């Protein structure tokens, strides 16, 4: 059409009266509060049923928390310097992963030294006993 359809055109396409189309348009325009009760008891409201897409599902949260606990336990067995480098490189503290260069600046060493320490830490984490602890999370 290249334009919005008229009420009459909508009514014809939907096989309803123009008055019914007008009513539907009015209902669609009317704002609806998320605090509107969903039943007679008023113990739940519409807003309770809207999914927050920013929050991960409970099972993912539980798995993440268990992994984090296991990972913290594993990292306790590493020298503090290696732990710090892994935390910075992989964003284990705040979700922000840093480059070799950035970690080097923060720790006062070269990026090559950061790479070496990181490789050493990862090598320790590949130990069979440690791998067994983390295997269920890593697939």
Would you place residue 6 in the very low, low, confident or very high pLDDT band (cuts 50, 70, 90)? very high
Same domain, 64 and 117: yes
Over residues 94-120, mean pLDDT? 97
Same domain, 25 and 42: yes
Same domain, 68 and 45: no
Same domain, 45 and 67: no
As a whole number of angstroms, the distance between CA 44 and CA 124 comes to 52
Same domain, 39 and 70: no
Q: Give the CA dihedral 94, 96, 124, 128, nearest 10 degrees.
A: 80
The CA-based angle 107-112-113, given to 5 degrees, is 50
Would you place residue 16 in the very low, low, confident or very high pLDDT band (cuts 50, 70, 90)? very high
Instruction: Please give the residue range of the domain that contains residue 45.
Output: 7-49
Same domain, 97 and 125: yes
Q: What percent of the chain has pLDDT over 90?
A: 45
Count of other CB atoms within 10 angstroms of residue 103: 23
What pLDDT is stored for residue 86 in this prediction? 96
How many residues are listed for the chain in this entry?
139
Please indicate, yes or no, if residue 2 is contained in any of the structural domains. no
What pLDDT is stored for residue 44 in this prediction? 84
Q: Which of 48, 92, 88, 52 is nearest to 70 (CA)?
A: 92
Same domain, 114 and 96: yes
Would you place residue 41 in the very low, low, confident or very high pLDDT band (cuts 50, 70, 90)? low
Same domain, 22 and 64: no
DSSP per-residue string spanning 42-91: -S-BGGGGS--TTSPPHHHHHHHHHHHHHHHHHHTTS-HHHHHHHHHHHT
Mean pLDDT of the chain: 88
> Which range, of 35-49, 52-66, 96-110, 119-133, averages the lowest pLDDT?
35-49
What pLDDT is stored for residue 139 in this prediction? 60
What pLDDT is stored for residue 31 in this prediction? 80
Please indicate, yes or no, if residue 1 is contained in any of the structural domains. no
Q: What is the DSSP letter of 30?
A: S
Same domain, 117 and 96: yes
Same domain, 38 and 104: no
């Amino acid at each position: 059409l290249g334009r919005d359809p008229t009420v009459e055109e909508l009514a014809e396409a939907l096989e309803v009266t123009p008055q019914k189309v007008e009513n539907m348009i009015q209902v669609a325009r009317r704002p609806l509060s998320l605090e509107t009760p969903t039943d007679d008891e008023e113990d739940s409201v519409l807003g309770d049923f809207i999914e927050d897409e920013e929050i991960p599902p409970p099972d993912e949260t539980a798995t993440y928390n268990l992994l984090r606990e296991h990972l913290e336990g594993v990292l306790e067995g590493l020298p503090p310097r290696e732990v710090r480098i892994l935390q910075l490189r992989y964003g284990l503290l705040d979700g922000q992963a840093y480059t070799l260069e950035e970690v080097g600046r923060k720790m006062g060493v070269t990026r090559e030294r950061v790479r070496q320490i990181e490789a050493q830490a990862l090598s320790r984490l590949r130990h069979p006993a440690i791998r067994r602890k983390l295997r269920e999370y890593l697939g």
